Chains A and B, each alone.
Chain A
Amino acid sequence: MLDPWPERHILPMSSVEIPALQLRNITKTFGSLVANDNISLSLSQGEMLALLGENGAGKTTLMNILFGHYVATQGEIEIYGKPLVKGSPKAALATGIGMVHQHFTLADNMTVLENIILGTEPIFSFRHHLSAARVKLLKLSMKFALHVDWNTLVKDLSIGQRQRVEILKVLYRDVKILILDEPTAVLTPQESAKLFTTLRLLTGKGLSVIFITHKLKEALSGSDRCVVLRHGRMVYETATKGIKASTLAQAMVGGTLPLIKTKHPVTFSQKLLSCSNISIRGHQHQPLLDEMNLHLLKGEILGIAGVSGNGQMQLANMLSGMQTPDSGEIELNGELITHHTPREMMSAGIGRVPEDRTATGIIGDMSVRENLALESYQEPSLSRFGLLKSRSMEAYAADLIKEFDIRCPSTETQVRNLSGGNIQKLILARVLSRKPIVLLASQPTWGLDVGATAFVHKQLIQAKREGAGILLISEDLDELLQLSDRIQVLYKGKISVPVSPDQVDAATLGLAMSGHLEEFSQKIGQSAP
């Protein structure tokens, strides 16, 4: 599969047209880690390129070099034939490269408008030229159907809206080459489709687009060309037309993935968890959860779909004891747990896989051993008379590392140095080893690569088969359809009727996710036997 890329590209290209972008022999090392290894790549005007690869394959690093966040250890970049100044986002922007980062580069306490105009004006001018900015933005937002309220603070926006702000921010700079890092990770299917329509509109006008993804479907439907990175090397390049998903998948993981049997019928009928008439209001008394009802059976996976910011966080916080509902009751095995503290929730049998795993799942500066013991260090097996038993902790950690295949140099490694996939394995190990009655899994595979995702899915199914009830909150509809026994949709704190994944497709769920709850119920009513 490996070709001598540089030769292959330079010869035909130079005789036909100057490429919009030309990367030559880019190598980037972080200490002993080679993140990018001799990558050469070109992009023509109006082309849409999908950059595929697993986590840690070096996609984001490569794009960060292009945008100037990092300086390549070796290699050259040319934009329309002119060399690009290294390590300067300013130069990149001036040359017409714009980047929408996966982790948004927005300031929460500032308005949308302030975020967008930052850096677009001469820095020592005596005032903002706000009216001109508003006019330009209005035009842009009409043209690309990206509507956001300019005067809102970013912290009050949903993640989907924030992304729109990011895209607008880049478009506002009149870029020629647009880089998007995992752009659809947070969008509904409809929104994703809309995004790709927008991107097509852009390429039609002569912009070139590179988007990073690990969703094969997106690469196949959205791009003109696919490039696959693996372990920092460019291993595969192809025109998208006529290529099969399996070919790309193989190139990404470097082999074939075992298929997991995902559907196991629910064999229990015992009700584990029920939430009745739960309401939570925000600071301005807006409903975040609105008379929400749900129940969870033993051995069942209940999927909660919805675009983030529609009450998922409150639901998860509530069930992990971090937030108390304003009204309503939560019962676990017939016992009221509405006012439990996080620790009481834990000992009552609720396991937690948090959404933001680096913020609320782990303590980055502490070791793997300590992080693994975080939820059970008070138990007699790990401590006595207020003193930790370091040998037991070590053994406990070593067992879990082995059982859950956590890749780390030693039990003393600081957790923040692990990859996302290994951090998630650690969290799963910590939770599942306690045999929870109910497992709360929020976005359990967000940002994980194919291999790690498969691992997480396997563990969830295993827990389900052992009789745990699993509440799976996810924005990934494929995941929900694949794993859940029932799915409910959250929209602005209201929850839809449950539906079996066999009865719906992603598009119908998308309908509910964008607020058409009644239409959704009708549609399900019709399709239900």
Chain B
Amino acid sequence: MDILHFLVETGFWIATIRMATPLIFGTLGELICERAGVLNLGIEGIMAAGCMAGWTWVYFGGDLWSGVLFAAFIGGLFGLLHALFTVHLGLSQHVTGLGITMLAAALSSFVFKMLLPKATTPPKIIPFANLDLPLLTDIPFVGPIIAHQSPLTLLAFFMVLVVSYLLYKTPFGLSLRMCGENPLAVEAQGLSVFTIRTVAVVAGSSLMAVGGAFLTLSAFDAFYIGMVNGRGWICIALVVFSSWKPWKALLGTLLFAAFDAMQMRVQQQSTMVIPYQFYLMLPYIFSILAMVIMSRRAAYPKALLVPFRKGER
């Protein structure tokens, strides 16, 4: 099968890991929100806001890392808005989330046009340089793969570790997961469901925005309208695929990205018999199949989508 020889190419693996990065951030962010019982459909818009915020910061003279922080901050603000409506006012999480997506995405384009009304081609910035880790990059095969990644990718992998430690090993993580399972139990133990859920949604949204910032500060060097291109929605599917577990989320994002990277390569080798659109479709078919298989026994957070209202009968 020489059609599969890309599997031994480093280029394929470099692309896979690079394409997985925004998805890792987004999926982790969504996972945190949903573990606390709040579906965040604002993800698509929040990622767009992250793209825009990070890029603008750097374009107007900020450095790259503070740009990432600024993107996280902006994402957190949208998260706070989402939490205000869904957690404190107990409104529909679907409607609010879609509203946030529309607002954040439109606002990003709007601000971009306001700041640079005359730009015909998107202005460029200098993005993150690739990793320079002398010892690691000397390892055969794996070394070059690591060497061609951005530091944000390293951060994404590190965040998987952080999020899973936070969720499973700390009192805050326990109370967060409990909020998604049975908020009344949290209240009965003297904790505030509102505070915990708000913190979770804000933190999750910040992560999503960092995923967006990766696109402008690392993957590309400019901001395009619509550049998130459905990645947020994929993250929501990946959270289900992962059964709400950080490590499985990592696996899911890598698998999806691998299919995406693969379709690009197979596409080039494609003959006239199979149209290239077929290959474009592959990652999505994969995600549908994977969801069907993996999520059958998924123990979803029981209080997901259920607003908590204090003192309600």
Contact = CB atoms under 8 A, between A and B. Distances in A.
Interface stretch (A123-131, A198-206, A495-503): A123-131
B171 A128 contact: yes
B174 interface: yes
B175 interface: yes
Interface string A81-119: 000000111111110000101000111111000110111
Given A71-B311, A118-B174, A99 B188 contact: yes
B43 to A, nearest CB: 24
A93 B185 CA distance: 13
A93 B184 contact: no
Interface string B89-112: 000000000000000000000000
A284 interface: no
A89 B174 CA distance: 18
A70 B184 CA distance: 12
B191 interface: yes
Contacts of A93: 189-190
Contact of A107 (B170, B181, B191, B192): B181
Given A89-B189, A93-B189, A126 B310 contact: no
Contacts of A122: 171
B39 to A, nearest CB: 18
A92 B190 CA distance: 8
B229 to A, nearest CB: 34
B168 to A, nearest CB: 9
A275 B78 CA distance: 59
A115 B185 contact: yes
A119 B189 contact: yes
Contacts of A125: 170-171
B300 to A, nearest CB: 9
Contacts of B302: 107-109
B181 A118 contact: no
Nearest to A92: B190
Contacts of A109: 181, 299, 301-302
A87 B311 contact: yes
Contacts of A295: none
Contacts of B189: 89, 93, 105, 118-120, 169
Contact of B310 (A67, A69, A110): A69
B188 A101 contact: yes
Given A93-B189, A101-B188, A118-B185, A110 B178 contact: yes
Nearest to B299: A109
Given A30-B313, A108-B302, A89 B188 contact: yes
Contacts of A126: 169-170
A121 interface: yes
Contacts of B148: none
Given A105-B184, A109-B302, A117 B174 contact: yes
A19 to B, nearest CB: 23
B287 interface: no
Interface string A46-86: 00000000000000000010010111000000000000000
B187 interface: yes
B166 to A, nearest CB: 9
Interface string A214-236: 00000000000000000000000
A119 B190 contact: yes
Contact of B174 (A70, A88, A106, A128): A128
Contacts of B174: 110, 114, 117-118, 128
Interface in A121-153: 121-128
A421 to B, nearest CB: 16
A107 B185 contact: yes
B186 interface: yes
A127 B169 contact: yes
Interface string B290-312: 00000000010110000000110
Given A107-B185, A119-B190, A123-B191, A128 B310 contact: no
B261 to A, nearest CB: 35
Interface in B149-198: 169-172, 174-175, 177-178, 181-182, 184-192
B171 A106 contact: no
A64 B311 CA distance: 9
Contacts of A107: 177-178, 181-182, 185, 302
Contacts of B184: 101, 105
A180 to B, nearest CB: 13
Nearest to A113: B174
Nearest to B191: A119
B190 A128 contact: no
Contacts of B301: 109
Given A123-B171, A123-B191, A108 B181 contact: yes
Contacts of A30: 313
Contacts of A119: 171, 175, 186, 189-191
- A30, A71, A89, A101 interface centre (most CB from chain B within 10 Å): A89
Given A69-B310, A109-B302, A89 B177 contact: no
Nearest to A119: B189
B170 A118 contact: no
A118 B313 contact: no
Contacts of A67: 188
Given A109-B302, A118-B174, A119-B171, 4 more contacts: A107-B302, A115-B178, A120-B189, A128-B171
27 contacts: A89-B188, A92-B190, A93-B189, A93-B190, A101-B188, A105-B182, A105-B187, A107-B181, A107-B302, A108-B302, A109-B301, A110-B174, A110-B178, A110-B181, A114-B174, A118-B171, A118-B185, A118-B186, A119-B175, A119-B190, A123-B171, A125-B171, A126-B170, A127-B170, A128-B169, A128-B171, A169-B189
Interface of A: 30, 64, 67, 69-71, 87-94, 99, 101, 105-110, 114-115, 117-128, 169
